[in-house]
Chains A and B, each alone.
Chain A
Amino acid sequence: MRRAAAMLALSLCAAWGGMAAALAQEPAPENIQIGLSTDRVAITTDFSGADLTIFGAIENADPLINRQGRYDVIVVLEGPARPVVVRRKDRVLGMWINTQSETFENVPVSYSVATTRAMRDITQPASYRQLSLGADNLHIRVSDDTESSPATIEEFTAALRDRKKAVGLYSERIGGVQFLSANLFRATVSLAPNVPVGTHRARAFLFRSGVFVKETSAQLAIYKSGFEQTIYRFANNHAFWFGIFAVLLAMLTGWIGRLVFRKD
């Protein structure tokens, strides 16, 4: 009797599995879309870091999987890539000085991640590596003319990530992606106070039950606002006159300061 019940349960399970497979084949595959409320972010004088909100939707979501909460979304805001030199200090004659260095070619200046849950719970490390997703899995290319061993390169790559995290340029926000309804989600990524200007790329990755499904991306320009940009451009294009101006400003400030605050 007990055995018969077990048999029945087993066949029921098999039937359910078959049905689910049949259902999944029929509808169009899931898709993910994101939209930025703005495609330009201006850095103004009072900028001290900010949160950027990105809205998105999953199209053709399977209601069953959705109910079980097995859709996961990872949103990344990736800054422009620039070459970076990582230097290591060693003890020489009792002093800590820079000795060895390693040059990396394509390091995103900033890398801000928001996820529905902890990254290790979403999918396997191998799959992150394949997607080059997450600060720890980014493919960072070392300069071609290096003569270091793979272990040394690994050490410097790890140090690069650690330093970037320490200054807040690489960040991760678990729970930064929230579902507002069955299909609609909102991602909040951080812009650090030292966020680089330039073209950033927002990318969203959709996972179903731990399997990568689809990726989408959008561009975002972060730029200095009028005043900051004018100063920066002046400093770079008219460097000499900028220096003269800085000197005159200092003298004027010194003179006015004496008039205002004089104590003798």
Chain B
Amino acid sequence: MGIYLPIAELSANVIVLLAMGAAVGFLSGMFGVGGGFLITPLLIFYNIPPAIAVATGANQVIASSFSGALAHLKRGTLDFKLGTMLLIGGIVGSTAGIYVFALLRSIGQLDLFISLLYVALLGTVGSLMMIESLNAIRRSKSGVAPALKKPGQHNWIHRLPLKMRFRASKLFVSVIPVLVLGAGIGFLSSIMGVGGGFIMVPALIYLLKVPTNVVVGTSLFQIIFVAAYTTIVHSTTNQTVDIVLAFVLMIGGVAGAQYGAKAGQKLRGEQLRALLALLVLAVALRLAFDLFVRPQDIYSLSGIGGGHI
């Protein structure tokens, strides 16, 4: 069953798109990430022009994050103050990212930059999470209680000035790393069409030592706004948000997300993190393969200024 995508200007199979949205939604609900880091490469594999895949991915991330954040709001596992600080950084980062995006698109290196960023980030984050979660699984098997947050232990981040208290997270930490983290994720979000949950979640857990139960909700809260901002700016500067494509993905996504969240509750934290790490590494490997193995076709076409043709 075909559906015509008015902005991408091509026809795609609606069943494939729904399945894609549902699969990603399931994983995103399970792991508490937006799922943009999966949906964007999937759309590119499915021949959607990269610029449209990125902007539309950001749009569909809003739906699944909003849906997830509502659930966390009800449970009270959402730190508004921390989320707002991350958000302020995020808006600054997004703005910078969108200018870099337009620049790279015009010189034809957008695909390379997106692929490199994905490989580097997904590879690093995936490996680190994998090591940590495997260690945690081993420790829990040998009967030692896992301790992510050791009260007496402070790293360099905790010595920075401008400290601020975040009550819901039971945290007293400098605002600088929070803003920088937000900005970095906002930058990536606008370039890669991702909300940044897959970086935000480990960064909040490992770097800022935020309690794990507050991390997912807070991360989703800030992703909603960064992804919304990214969607609006992409729409304004590049006109690349395909609302029909986004809507079909959202329908699959919100349904999948609720089932995924249910499935996620049956797994233990470290098992969940190990699975997420595996998924992240698989995407990184697939993209690295594209980058380092001779492509089937070494030529590509684009319109003037990088627009699709």
Taking a contact as CB atoms under 8 Å apart, the answer to whether A247 and B297 are in contact is no
Taking a contact as CB atoms under 8 Å apart, the answer to whether B241 and A254 are in contact is no
Distance to closest chain B CB from A190 (angstroms)? 13
* Number of residues of chain B lying within 8 A (CB) of chain A: 68
Report Cα–Cα, A88/B297, bound state, in Å: 9
Report Cα–Cα, A258/B108, bound state, in Å: 40
* Partner-contacting stretch, out of B134-142, B164-172, B203-211, B300-308: B300-308
Taking a contact as CB atoms under 8 Å apart, the answer to whether A84 and B241 are in contact is no
Question: Does A10 belong to the interface (CB within 8 Å)?
Answer: no
Question: Does B231 belong to the interface (CB within 8 Å)?
Answer: yes
Report Cα–Cα, A221/B64, bound state, in Å: 39
Question: Does B20 belong to the interface (CB within 8 Å)?
Answer: no
Question: Does B96 belong to the interface (CB within 8 Å)?
Answer: no
* Partner-contacting stretch, out of A12-20, A54-62, A232-240: A232-240
Question: Does B295 belong to the interface (CB within 8 Å)?
Answer: yes
Knowing A96-B291, A166-B297, A255-B70, the reply to whether A247 touches B254 (Cβ < 8 A) is: no
Complex partner residue of A96 from B224, B262, B294, CB under 8 angstroms: B294
Chain A 26-57 interface 0/1 with B at a Cβ cutoff of 8 Å (1 = within): 00000000000000000111111100000000
A47, A247, A264: most-surrounded residue (chain B CB, <10 A): A247
Knowing A96-B291, A253-B63, the reply to whether A194 touches B234 (Cβ < 8 A) is: no
Question: Does A263 belong to the interface (CB within 8 Å)?
Answer: yes
Q: Nearest CB to that of B75 among chain A residues?
A: A264
Report Cα–Cα, A109/B63, bound state, in Å: 35
Residues of B contacting A229 in the complex (Cβ-Cβ under 8 angstroms): 6
Taking a contact as CB atoms under 8 Å apart, the answer to whether A245 and B243 are in contact is yes
Taking a contact as CB atoms under 8 Å apart, the answer to whether B250 and A83 are in contact is no
Complex partner residue of A163 from B255, B258, B297, CB under 8 angstroms: B297
Distance to closest chain A CB from B235 (angstroms)? 3
Taking a contact as CB atoms under 8 Å apart, the answer to whether B4 and A232 are in contact is no
Taking a contact as CB atoms under 8 Å apart, the answer to whether B243 and A231 are in contact is yes
Taking a contact as CB atoms under 8 Å apart, the answer to whether A82 and B258 are in contact is no
Complex partner residue of A264 from B7, B59, B262, CB under 8 angstroms: B262
* Partner-contacting stretch, out of A97-105, A112-120, A123-131: A97-105
Interface residues of A (CB under 8 A from B): 43-49, 82-91, 94-98, 101, 103, 109, 156, 159-160, 162-164, 166-167, 193-194, 196-197, 224, 227-229, 231-232, 235-236, 239-240, 242-247, 249-251, 253-258, 260-264
> What are 8 contact pairs spanning A and B, CB under 8 A?
A46-B4, A47-B2, A193-B10, A231-B244, A242-B239, A243-B233, A250-B63, A258-B70
